[in-house]
Amino acid sequence: METNDEDQWQEAAWNINDHWVPESDEEGDIIDEQAQYFDLSDPTEDTREHIVFPFDLNEPATNEPTEYFQQQHYRPRGHQRKKKSRLSCDTRLQILMWLLNNHSKGDKGKPYFGAMTHVARIYNCHPRTVSRIWKTARAQKEAFQRYNMATKAKNAGRKRIQVEQDSITKLGMGDRTCIRDLAEMLSIGPTTLWRMIKRGDVRPHTNPLHPGLQDPNMLQRVKWVLDLLEGDSPQTKRQYLPMFDFVHIDEKWFYLTKKQQRVYLGKNERGKYRSGKSSKFIPKVMFTAALARPRFNENDECTFDGKLGIFPFTYQEAAKRTSKNREKGTMVTKVVESVRKEETRNMLINEIVPAIMQKWPPSEGPKTIFIQQDNAKTHITHSDPQWQQAHQQGDFKFILVQQPPNSPDLNILDLGFFRSIQSLMHKKMPKDVDAMIDAVNQA
């Protein structure tokens, strides 16, 4: 029995080199007789028709894709058809002028053979485009018209989204503080609104906070301006005073550093690490500046720049103990934290008045100088007893005048002068109070 089983198994064995032609599939269905099969052992059989990716296991693998894959089955993702470039009106006119300068002088007036291909290669376009330009120009010539190479390409595409101006003005100021909010209120895209801003249909605006002037303040401002007119009567007051005898003074806090400093670094450069004990308590110093009107001679040369000085509210004090930064007894610069009327009086008498007397142009003879200041509570008036003893010195007579309240625009120091000094000071990046004072004086 065992021998018969082995014989039957040998008879049922199949050769791997023979192609398999099944009579039925797994479900028992009869295979279509018209189905085509191929033999792997047949060298004449072209198996590339039956597989998607042809390869041979007997050949070494390569990283390059097969030619069949490159030609028929490889399509890069996101591939878009290149748009045709549109020729501008100037370029079309240049092509026409080139053809007119290179055409035959016969009755037909055709361009030379190969001229259109040559000019198409020059201007990077198709010869048919050059041919259409020539036909258009020839039709215009036959109709006794001027050459017109203008196109209607600017009218292509959909129409622009129009936004009524009333729809913007009806919105509240809080609803249009940024492009995203305004675009949402107008039911348009932020990019569309940005294009409208570039075209000028929507205008960005910075709304500053102005001083709140009451009626008494306005009257004082008008009176101040009228007092600066030359003349004794309304008929003679036609011109403003030259104000060569005015000195503007004002105070400002200067901080040692900014919380955020913008700089530009190299590609591999690292930003400098800045640290402090607290960003809310940055060291600061109050300065008082004095400024007059500059003078120029007949040749427009500056003989007096008007910069009388800028003075800090500081004092020198000996160090009480030894530290890693200094020895005991070393003079240290201290900042006046609270500036009161006594400090402003000493600054005016001991610093500003001597600086004016030293730097004032000596060619102006006896001088009466008006020192203009604001209405801060720490400022003294001209009737101050100690000021009355010091306001006349030699040929100089100093008179304190108060500018109208709530009117910083009447002082030249508040019109960007302090701001420019502060910007120049921060470029020095001082480390301590002494370095900051030097940076302010250099600015």
Residue 123 domain-assigned (yes or no)? yes
Backbone phi, then psi, for 231, in 5-degree steps?
Answer: 125, 165
CATH number at residue 226: 3.30.420.10
Residues in CB range of 261: below 8 A, 6 or more apart: 274, 426, 429
What confidence tier does 424 reach under pLDDT thresholds 50, 70, 90? Answer: very high
Q: Which of 98, 124, 155 is the last residue of a domain?
A: 155
More confident residue, 84 or 8: 84
Same domain, 230 and 378: yes
Same domain, 338 and 235: yes
Alpha helices in 318-392 (DSSP H): 341-347, 353-359, 385-390
Residue 136 domain-assigned (yes or no)? yes
Q: Residue 155's pLDDT is what? A: 66
pLDDT digits (tens, 9 = 90+) for 334-389: 889 889 999 999 999 999 999 999 999 888 777 899 999 999 999 999 999 999 99
Pairing of strands 367-373, 314-318: unpaired
Same domain, 181 and 323: no
Q: Which of 155, 190, 209 is the last residue of a domain?
A: 155
Beta bridge partners of residue 290, listed in sequence order: 249, 309
Q: Residue 161's pLDDT is what? A: 87
Residue 274 domain-assigned (yes or no)? no
Residue 354 domain-assigned (yes or no)? yes
Same domain, 356 and 433: yes
pLDDT digits (tens, 9 = 90+) for 294-331: 999 888 899 999 999 999 999 988 888 888 888 888 88
Judged against a pLDDT cut of 60, whether residue 42 lies above it is answered with no
- CA distance linking residue 251 with residue 132, whole number of Å: 75
Same domain, 186 and 145: no
Range of the domain at 347: 221-257+279-442
Judged against a pLDDT cut of 50, whether residue 191 lies above it is answered with yes
User: Cα separations (Å) of 313 from 14, 307, 327, 408?
Assistant: 110, 18, 24, 22
Contact status, residue 131 vs residue 115, Cβ threshold 8 Å: no
Residue 352 domain-assigned (yes or no)? yes
Q: Which two tokens stand for residue 354?
A: 């001597």
Same domain, 245 and 134: no
Residues in CB range of 404: below 8 A, 6 or more apart: 217, 220, 221, 223, 224, 410
Same domain, 360 and 247: yes
Query: Residue 99: in which H helix or E strand, if any?
Result: helix 89-101
Residue 415 domain-assigned (yes or no)? yes
Q: Residue 280's pLDDT is what? A: 82
Q: Which of 23-37, 176-190, 419-433 has the lowest mean pLDDT?
A: 23-37
Judged against a pLDDT cut of 90, whether residue 271 lies above it is answered with no
Domain count, the chain: 3
Contact status, residue 229 vs residue 239, Cβ threshold 8 Å: yes
Residue 17 domain-assigned (yes or no)? no
- CA distance linking residue 160 with residue 163, whole number of Å: 10
Query: Residue 247: in which H helix or E strand, if any?
Result: strand 246-255
Token pair 């500036």 is found at 339
Q: How far apart are the first and last CA of the chain?
A: 117
Same domain, 182 and 125: no
Same domain, 244 and 117: no
Judged against a pLDDT cut of 60, whether residue 31 lies above it is answered with no
Same domain, 385 and 291: yes
Residues in CB range of 382: below 8 A, 6 or more apart: 388, 391, 399, 400, 401
Measured CA angle at 336 (ends 334, 339), to 5 deg: 170
The interaxial angle of helices 89-101 and 127-142, nearest 10 deg, is 80
Judged against a pLDDT cut of 70, whether residue 68 lies above it is answered with no
Q: Which two tokens stand for residue 176?
A: 């249009």
More confident residue, 144 or 68: 144
- CA distance linking residue 29 with residue 55, whole number of Å: 33
User: Cα separations (Å) of 100 from 88, 95, 106, 119, 385?
Assistant: 19, 9, 13, 12, 95
Query: Residue 100: in which H helix or E strand, if any?
Result: helix 89-101
Tell me the pTM: 0.60
Residue 375 domain-assigned (yes or no)? yes
Q: Residue 82's pLDDT is what? A: 62
Contact status, residue 289 vs residue 312, Cβ threshold 8 Å: no
Same domain, 252 and 399: yes
Same domain, 151 and 94: yes
What integer best gives the mean pLDDT of the chain? 82
- CA distance linking residue 170 with residue 216, whole number of Å: 34
Query: Residue 331: in which H helix or E strand, if any?
Result: strand 331-335
Measured CA angle at 106 (ends 102, 112), to 5 deg: 35
Q: What share of the chain is helix, strand, coil (3-state, %, to 5)?
A: 35, 15, 50
